[in-house]
Amino acid sequence: MKLGLILECPANGTDHQVYEHVIHELCPSIKILAVPTGTSNKRQMIENCGKIASSLLELESCDIVAIIWDLMPTWKKQGGKSCRHEDIDKIQTNLKNADVDLSKVKLICIEPELEGWIITDGSALTKYKKEIRSPHPVKRFKDVKQLNNSNDSKKRISKYLERKYNDIVEAIKIVKHFDNFNEIVKKHTSFRRLKEFIEKLCKLS
């Protein structure tokens, strides 16, 4: 099974590092070809997704393509409201304009953002802080209820770390401290969709 990934980040950006790791943890047999769009801008990812998906399916012989993006923060200026359905409509329009077979593309919107599912289970973040603060004791990070309409996850992590959180460097380090993702699945809807999708592919590989 060859999976193409379209992500809203530069090469080796936060999403690229984290989702490759997560997918390999869930299914080591899946071959992944990630194509970060070269930006951290959702608008540009949406504009480019059609031609990228076409290339992954036709030129790179991927069996299926997954487009993974964060609902928030919005790229709209001056406080525009994020809307998953609006994002999906725009993505599907660009895919259709590129003559992409929609049945071969899976859309997964992470609500509200990548850090949102990390903090629903505080175990990995706690382990990470213990690692960087050793030998000093640390308090456990308390699990946070899924926050679909709030993008303050990074602020919560920064507050816990007692300094500014660097997602490009630290997100993957935190995620690697998860023993499994079962607790997140119980608490975070969009991460559960991702996990179920990968496990379904794994059975076909």
pLDDT in tens, 62-99: 999 999 999 986 655 434 567 899 999 999 999 999 99
Residue 79 vs residues 73, 76, 84, 113, 114: alpha-carbon distances, Å = 10, 7, 16, 17, 20
Q: What is the pTM of this model?
A: 0.92
The pLDDT, as a whole number, for residue 148 is 73
Amino acid sitting at position 203: K
**Alpha helix stretches (DSSP H) within 134-188:** 153-161, 167-175, 182-187
Q: Which two tokens stand for residue 28?
A: 């080591």
Instruction: Tell which residue, 94, 41, 89, 31, has the closest CA to residue 63.
Output: 31
How far apart, in whole angstroms, are the C-alpha atoms of residue 49 and residue 37?
Answer: 8
Instruction: Work out the angle at residue 122's Cα, subtended by the Cα atoms of residues 148 and 82, and round it to the nearest 5 degrees.
Output: 15
The pLDDT, as a whole number, for residue 10 is 82
Exposure of 16 by Cβ count < 10 A (0-12 exposed, 13-18 middle, 19+ buried)? buried
Range of the domain at 137: 2-204
- How far does Cα 184 stand from its chain's mean position? 13
Total count of domains within the chain: 1
The pLDDT, as a whole number, for residue 78 is 39
How far apart, in whole angstroms, are the C-alpha atoms of residue 182 and residue 184?
Answer: 5
The list of the chain residues with pLDDT below 50 reads 77-79
- How far does Cα 139 stand from its chain's mean position? 27
User: Helix 14-26 vs helix 167-175: angle between axes, to the nearest 10 degrees?
Assistant: 10
The pLDDT, as a whole number, for residue 37 is 59
The 3-state secondary structure of 54-85 reads HHHHHCCCCCEEEEEEECCCCCCCCCCCCCHH
How far apart, in whole angstroms, are the C-alpha atoms of residue 73 and residue 83?
Answer: 11
Q: For residue 119, which phi and psi values (nearest 5 degrees)? A: -90, -5
